Structure 1
Amino acid sequence: MNFLSKTLSTLTGTSIPYTVKEEIPTSPKSIWTVYNGLNPKGDNSPVSIFEMNLRNDVNINRNYVSLARNCFKKLKLVKFPGIISIIDFIENDNYLYIITEPVIPLQSYLKQYGNEVGDDAKIYGIYNIGETLDFINMKCQCVHGSLSVYNDSVFVNKLGEWKLFGFELLTNLTSDPDQPIYRLSGYSPSFQDELPGDVLNQGIEAIRGFPIRFDSYKYGIFIHQIFNQGIDFNNIGKMPKQLSVQYKKLINPKLNLRISIQAFLKETGKFFESNKVIQFNKQLEEIQFKNDFEKLNFFKFELSNYVGEDIDIKFPPGFLDFKLLPELINQYNNLLKPNNAQQLVEDLQQRQETTSVLLNYILKFGVKLNKDEFCLKVKPIILNAFQSADRSIRLILLTHLSSYIENLTEGDIQSKVFYNLITGFQDTNFMIRETTLTSIMIIIDKVSVKQVNQDLLKVLAKSQMDPKPSIRTNTLVLIIKISDKIYQNSKNNVLITALSKSLRDSFIPCKMTSLSGFEKLINEFSLEEICSKILGQLAILLMDNQSYKVRKEAKRIFELYLDMVEKHASTLPRSENEDDEDAEEKEFFKKYAPNNNGLAQQVSQASQDVTQASKFNFGWGMVNKLVASSEVEGELNNDFNSSTPDLTRVTTPTISNKREPATSFANDIINDDDLDDGWGDELNNLSLQDKPSEKLSTIRSTTRVPTKTNNNSRKTSSLKLGTKKDTTRKPPGSTLKLDLTIDDDVEDGWGGW
């Protein structure tokens, strides 16, 4: 851009203290070349630069010089709000320069904004131009003579205000010796357009009798051009009907019947005064003359009549952004200044309420500014307002957050917004909490990973238990959204904990959100986590008694996770040589079984029976078979007697002076038809190859039968050793060889364990 500026400066041969930028397209009938520019003396504020080349050798352009000099001169003399604002005049041997506020031609403005310029805005512009011409005609005693949409005699500034230019033929009817309207009109490229019949017939001298009525005709044609594209000026077309009668008076072909612009404005006064844009503009112009109380009332109560949410007024593009907004900012800053200590409480409250109203409008219109202007005018207000403890201020900031977030940098968010923002989670007003939560979702991309893990997760953990169901649900949504920013070493634990907690929530949308989260994050979890932590949690909702929709969705998500596990399981190796579950038992037989064919066959048959019956049915039944077939005093008996007793077996105690062989003891117990030891048929079903002989004397034992409560069913027996009763109770060394004395007075059903 600097290169372009230098190039343009070289081409124009200028050394003016302004930065010349790109050229603005203008009408072919304009004598000026117009550029955008910057004013280095005004902090590089934008300007428009009108340029006229004085050294051009083309004759027609040499005639333009006189027109340009008259415009240059008259703009210095005539000042009015409706006239384009002049910043500087520069004249040298080669060029004339008029430095103005930044503007664009009206014709370009109407094309650029199209339907954005509604009838209200057009009427506002027509009214401004009419008042300006009336001032020139009546107060200045001058005739303008060049008004038209198509010759760039009207420009529009960034406030949407229509400003009069085109002073090339401006003539003072009483004191102008040059009388440009008569002397130079023939050089004007646009003068011959839209002339009244009297001038066409009699020439320029026809306007001498009523010069200002020439401006009346031009003004009437200008109004027609605003609303219509055609040249049939007798057809009002899209022009408002309220103007039609007075419009025809402006363009009356008879000069003596043609009304002045002043008369036109007077006759249409009610129509223009009813226009909301015109009304609001007058209010803004008068606000600076009102006292503080009147200003507060206007912004608090009357402003909404023009810019409220339900008000359908099409203001000119730029009007609210550049005319209303600066006044709002000025009033807002004034309200924030320290107040008088003796100020009434009611007045203080009103100022606080007005402050929130003003901030709402500042944000509403400020977001339409370009980024540079926003950062200069609105951004400081936002960052300062986040420090306020006022709920209404906080709520307004959060409500508009999505509209201005793009204009805040990561540094702004992390250092000046985030920590103030999360304090809203502690507010007792649920609206503040909920809006705060929603706002976190908006700024999360600009929040640092450290802030997420050290600060945000803590408040979200509490927010997940909020009494408001929507807050709990949105909290989970946020946790899912920020999952990529959670530290990797704690990420899955945080997610599983948060999602699982919401599965048990009573609010159905919260459950559905949790299920959705499990589906979205399915690839985040390991198979171990799925099996140990997730499937069990999902299974809870398979029998949810609140909603069929929840059960159906839970089943679908459960199957997704289960399929992942089964898919992985299918990839595991399959081999017939897998570890034998009965390896320990087989090793036991191999070590202790006798080396005779009969016993080997017996052991083999027993092993097959066990295997066929159940993988887990080896137990003491097999041991009894093995021991019953082994040598009494062999290695097996010795090892078995020193092993750990089976605490799950209800043993049948016996007392003997002489230890009988283990084989005879086991055979006698199994063969005793009258013995009931509480084990049922488990022992009776054992099959032995050889039926043992009866070698033991009658054994009486105490047995408890659960279904009988008769005391007579309890039988107590004891074997006496001589005449002395052995009262010593010893824990069994083996389930096969017991040496116990049963005390008649003791009976607990578990053999004393």
Structure 2
Amino acid sequence: MNFLSKTIGSFAGSSIPYTFKEKLIDPTNPISGVSQVDRNSIWTVYDGTNPKDSLQVTIFEFSLKEARNKRFELLARNAFRKLKMIKFPGIISIIDFIENDVSLYIITEPVVPLALFLQTHSLHQEAIVAGINDLSRTLTFLNEDCNSLYGGFDYFRSVFVNCQGDWKLMGFELVTNLQSDPDQPIYRLSRSMPEPPDVDPESIRRDPKKYDSYKLGQFIYAVFNGGSVDTNFKLPVKLVGPSKRLMAKRINISQFGKEVEPYFQANTIVKFASQLSELKFMKSDAKLDFFKTQLPQYTQDDIYPPGFLDHKLLPELVSQYQQVSKSSASTELESVAKQETLATLLDLILKFGTKLSSEEEFRRVVKPIIFSAFAANDRAMRLVLLTHLPNYQNFLTDSDIQGKIFTPLLGGFQDTNFMIRETTLKSITIVIDKISVKQVNQELLRVLAKSQMDPKPSIRVNTIILIIKISSKIYANSKNNVLITALAKSLRDSFVPCKMTALHGFETLIDEFSLEEICSKVLGHLAISLMDRKSSKVRANAKRVFDLYLSSVETHAKELPVADGDEDEDEEEREFFKRHAPQQAEAKVDTPTAGNNNNNNNNNIGGFGWGMVSKLTSLGGAVGGGAAAGQLNSDFNRSTPDLTRVGTPTQEELPITTSADTTMASNWNEFNDAWDTGAGDEVEVELAQLPKPIVENTKKINLGRSTDTSTGRTAVAPPLRKPLKTTSLRLGQAAKTEKPKSNLKLNLNLKVEEDDDEEDGWGDGWS
């Protein structure tokens, strides 16, 4: 638009309580080639708003001080006066009239010139026919009921389209009452029009109404032909004959309406508009039947002009919804019918409300209904709300979602109907960007943990999808634990798509996990899926993702710094030997003898190893004597636990010698005498039948053998049954009698319990 003209227009309108916006028509524009809409008008037309309620309006302005407008002043004052006097649905709705010394203002409902409207919208033939029907009825009202002549009916000047898609009559500059109008504008002022009509005063006087008939015929051809009145253009068959008779002045407009009435009444838009106008007078049952059966038939075709459904149907639906919601139900049957009606109306309100082009209008009309419907906690209404959420969520702000919708929305997870639960889950995915971080961590995650165990497989899949999507909103201190736990649980799901989704989650979130988490947690979970018995696809994807994680670990390992030299693995053992090995033991060990040179060379001090440690620990008090060797044995036993020992008591745990032990010692003396009498063979046979004792135990506690000092022979003790019944020390064979209650038993039990409770960090992987 021309900036200068817009600025002047805004300045001129500063004295009226309305805000001027874009200029629609500018008759003062000096640029050649402007549209005929500008050339044919005496009014400067603006879009505007009413500051009181922020509603859209259209402002018609006529400047009284502009020199060009002197010859149009009487025309403007005639329109100003006649529009105050004549009211009809087909005439543009007037909001306000303002007159001062500078200008005349007519404030109307928001409208657009028909010629401009048809340039930007391609209307269906049904919509054009419905518009012609509206205009013919309005002109019939003027001619017959008001006994007036419209005069100068014109395609570019006379008709405007409102936000509902209705065609409204404007341009009352030449409207003349055929009986009481003293000025007779049609005769006196017609030549003053910007584009003078072809007026023959004498022919008008003979039959004034036929002049409007002639102009309507021209208008019908112009509408179907882009503004041209070429009669060769094809019209709908039902309109061809009547339109030609209009132009020939053979019939007036009222006769035209009666002739084409069946055709107009068969028009879908005309019938629908008629039904809507009668809706307020219907009973509740009839309304519900209309909404459920007839309304879907009307709205299934895309034949309506822009704004018809949004601004004509939607307000009526909202009005009906408010009336039904306020009504009371005395019986359960009436209550069910009421909820059914509300759900049906809500579905239609959201269907057409989401097509509104103005966010402000949606906020004013539809939002309150959405909030109240969520609070109602009705299953049918909840399903309708969630189904349409993708369409209207763009109209909702973050505060709307967080304060009015999120909490009621979470209630859907508790519904016994799986459709409600699944639709709720999908809805959370849609609005997740508008949910606060606090709500995600303190409310949503708790619900999703339960939803991940839902019996419906599709809900479990959508749950893990949502968890992956909200990963960026999870608190950093618990984020990775939540993700790994949730994904690992889905990897163990019996539903293959759930496993695939979890693998995809591990793949997309690989950058979230540290190397320690990958090694200690993630790889173990992924390894389970490598042996999935149900799906080869899962195994293949698990292998790919596993390799991806393993590759990241290997890449990092290659970047670790290289040490100056390999660490000597035996350094600690050599240091231990230097500190604790007795000198006499070293001398004896290092002295080679015939037949064992190789053995000594392999186990000398310079080549200290586990073989030497084994020898040192077997020396006890025999090698080196004294406390040094015993200290070495004790230190070694404490520093290196025996993994094969099963609860063998140490020397500190052995009980004090009792009378039973003395008896056992005397029996060992009798056993030594048996070797001298040749009874050793019989004893060896009986001993061979016993279980072999653990070697380590026999080395550490030299029981069961005795040495004859005279001969140097070592004898094996025979099985002694009586001592075995009374002592806690036994070889191979368990005692059959009840164990004596002594400190030894208590100590052993305590020792075993301590060993069992030790946590060595490996878990049960070695059991």
Indicate the TM-score class for this superposition, using the shorter chain for normalisation. 0.7 to 0.9
Aligned residue identity for 2:12:
T
1:418, CA displacement in angstroms?
1.4
Does the 8 Å CA contact 1:46/1:102 hold for their aligned counterparts? yes
Q: Which residue of 1 aligns with 2:240?
A: 244
Aligned twin of 2:272: 280
Q: Is 1:350 the equivalent of 2:337? A: yes
Paired residues of 1:53 and 1:96 also in contact (CA < 8 A)? yes
Seen in structure 2, the aligned counterparts of structure 1 residues 99 and 599 have a Cα distance that, compared at 3 Å, is same
For residues 154-303 of structure 1, the aligned pairs below 5 Å read 154-192=159-197, 203-229=200-226, 231=228, 233-237=230-234, 239-252=235-248, 255=249, 258-303=250-295
Q: 2:375 and 2:433 mapped to 1: Cα distance?
A: 22
- Which residue among 107, 118, 122 is the counterpart of 1:99? 107
What pairs with 1:433-452 in structure 2 (closer than 5 Å)?
433-452=421-440
1:620/1:432 Cα in 2 relative to 1: closer, same or farther (>3 Å)?
farther
Within the alignment, does 1:549 sit opposite 2:549 as a pair? no
Q: Is the contact made by 1:182 and 1:205 (CA closer than 8 Å) also made in structure 2?
A: no
| 1:65 aligned to which of 58, 61, 73 | 73
Instruction: Find out whether 1:312 has 2:323 as its counterpart.
Output: no
**Deviations 1:489-523 (CA, angstroms, capped at 9, x unpaired):** 22211111111000001111111111111112112
Q: How far has the Cα of 1:83 moved from its partner?
A: 0.8
Q: Secondary structure at the match of 2:355?
A: coil
CA–CA separation in structure 1 for the residues paired with 2:479 and 2:693: 54
Name the SS for the 2:530 alignment partner.
helix
Contiguous gaps of at least 5 residues in structure 2: 27-36, 649-664, 670-683, 697-710, 738-744, 749-767
The aligned counterpart of 2:652 is none
1:326 aligns with 2:318: no
Matches of 1:641 and 1:270, distance apart in 2: 119
Q: Separation in 1 of the partners of 2:643 and 2:524? A: 34
Q: 1:679 to 1:149 in 2, by over 3 A?
A: farther
Aligned to 1:606: 602
1:666-705 CA distances to partner (integer Å, 9 max, x unpaired)? xxxxxx9x999979999xxxxxxxxxxxx8637558xxxx
Structure 1 residue 209, shift from structure 2 partner: 2.7
Contact in 1 for aligned 2:616/2:633 (Cα 8 Å)? no
Specify the code of the residue in structure 2 equivalent to 1:118: H
- Per the alignment, residue 80 of structure 1 pairs with 88
Which deviates further from its counterpart, 527-536 or 263-272? 263-272
Q: What's the secondary structure of 2:342's corresponding residue? A: helix
Q: Deviations over 1:94-139 (max 9, x none)?
A: 3222222221111122223x23x32222221111111111222222
SS at match of 2:15: coil
- Structure 1 letter corresponding to 2:80: F
The Cα offsets for residues 403-433 of structure 1, whole Å up to 9 and x where unpaired, read as 2223333333223221111111010000110
Instruction: Report the equivalent of 1:736.
Output: none
Q: How does 1:76-155 map to 2 (within 5 A)?
A: 76-112=84-120, 114-115=121-122, 117-150=123-156, 152-155=157-160
Q: Measure, in 1, the Cα distance between the counterparts of 2:11 and 2:83.
A: 26
Alignment-derived partner of residue 459 in structure 2:
471
- Tell me how far apart the structure 1 counterparts of residues 25 and 501 of structure 2 sit (CA, whole Å): 56
Q: 1:743 & 1:163 partners in 2: Cα distance?
A: 115
Cα–Cα, structure 1 residues 240 and 696, in superposed 2: closer, same or farther, change >3 Å?
farther
Alignment partner of 2:445 out of 457, 475, 489 = 457
Deviation at 1:91, TM superposition (A): 2.8
8 Å contact from structure 1 (residues 492, 525) kept in 2:
yes
Secondary structure at the counterpart of residue 302 of structure 2: coil
Contact 1:606 1:622 in 2 (8 A): no
| Contact 2:480–2:513, Cα closer than 8 Å, also in 1 | yes
- 2:64 corresponds to which of 47, 51, 54: 54
Query: Contact 1:718/1:744 (CA < 8 Å) preserved in 2?
Result: no
**Deviation by residue 1:146-205 (Cα, 9 ceiling, x = unmatched):** 22222x21111111111011121222233333332222222222334xx5xxx6xxx443
The amino acid across from 1:354 in the alignment is T
Question: Using the alignment, how far apart are the partners of 1:248 and 1:549 within structure 2?
Answer: 74
> Judging changes above 3 Å, is the alpha-carbon distance between structure 1 residues 626 and 575 closer, same or farther for their aligned structure 2 residues?
farther
TM-score between both structures, scaled by the size of structure 2 = 0.78
- Whole-Å separation in 1 of the counterparts to 2:735 and 2:439: 75
Shift of 1:633: 4.6
Aligned pairs (5 A) from 1:550-565: 550-565=538-553
**Which residue number in structure 2 is paired with residue 383 of structure 1?**
371
- Deviation larger for 501-510 or 594-603: 594-603
Quote the RMSD (CA, aligned, Å). Answer: 4.1
Task: Quickly say closer, same or farther: Cα 1:456–1:599, change in 2 above 3 A.
Answer: farther
The one-letter code of the counterpart of 2:341 is T
CA–CA distance in structure 1, aligned partners of residues 517 and 85 of structure 2? 85
What residue identity is the alignment partner of 1:120?
A: E
Distance in 2 between residues matched to 1:76 and 1:610, nearest whole Å: 123
Structure 1 counterpart of 2:97, one-letter code: F
Closer, same or farther in 2 for the Cα pair 1:743/1:51, shift >3 Å? closer
2:347 to 360, 381, 404: 360
* 1:391 partner letter: R
Cα 1:44–1:633 shift into 2, 3 Å = closer
Q: Distance in 1 between matches of 2:283 and 2:525?
A: 67
* CA distance in structure 1 between the aligned counterparts of 2:291 and 2:720, rounded to whole angstroms: 112
Taking structure 1 as reference, are residues 656 and 405 closer, same or farther at Cα in structure 2, changes over 3 Å only?
Answer: same
Task: Determine if contact 1:220/1:250 at 8 Å carries over to the other structure.
Answer: yes
- Residue equivalent to 1:697: 713
Q: Which has the higher helix share?
A: 2
- Is the deviation greater in 641-650 or in 8-17? 641-650
1:407 aligned to 2:395? yes
Distance in structure 2 (CA, Å) of the matches to 1:742 and 1:364: 88
**Residues of 2 paired with 1:726 and 1:320: CA distance?**
104
Q: TM-score, normalised by structure 1?
A: 0.79
Query: Which residue identity lines up with residue 368 of structure 1 in the other structure?
Result: K
3-state SS of paired residue (1:268): helix
Q: Distance in 1 between the 2:196 and 2:349 partners?
A: 45
Which whole-Å CA distance do the structure 2 matches of 1:13 and 1:490 have between them?
A: 61
Paired amino acid for 2:409 = L
Partner Cα distance (2:91, 2:363) in 1: 31
2:317 & 2:409 partners in 1: Cα distance?
25
Q: Residue type of the partner of 1:33?
A: T
CA distance in 1, matches of 2:118, 2:196: 22
**1:206-255 CA distance string (max 9 Å, x none):** 33333322222221221222222374622234x32332232232233xx4
Tell me if structure 2 keeps the 8 A contact 1:141–1:173: yes
- Residue 168 of structure 1 aligns to a residue whose secondary structure is coil
Q: Deviations over 1:279-335 (max 9, x none)?
A: 11111112223334433332343222222xxx1132121122222111111111111
AA aligned to 2:569 is E
Amino acid at match of 1:34: V
CA distance in 1, matches of 2:100, 2:735: 137
Structure with the greater relative contact order (CA < 8 A, sep ≥ 6): 1 or 2?
1
Q: Counterpart of 2:23 in 1: which secondary structure?
A: strand
Contact 1:132–1:164 (CA under 8 A) maintained in structure 2 = yes
**Residues 609 and 355 of structure 1: is their aligned pair in 2 closer, same or farther, counting only changes over 3 Å?**
farther
Q: Using the TM superposition, name which of 489-498 and 206-215 deviates more.
A: 206-215
- Separation in 2, partners of 1:298, 1:43: 33
Q: Distance in 2 between matches of 1:11 and 1:741?
A: 118
Change (3 A) 1:625 1:331: closer
Contact 2:487 2:505 in 1 (8 A): yes
Report the counterpart of residue 34 of structure 2 in structure 1: none
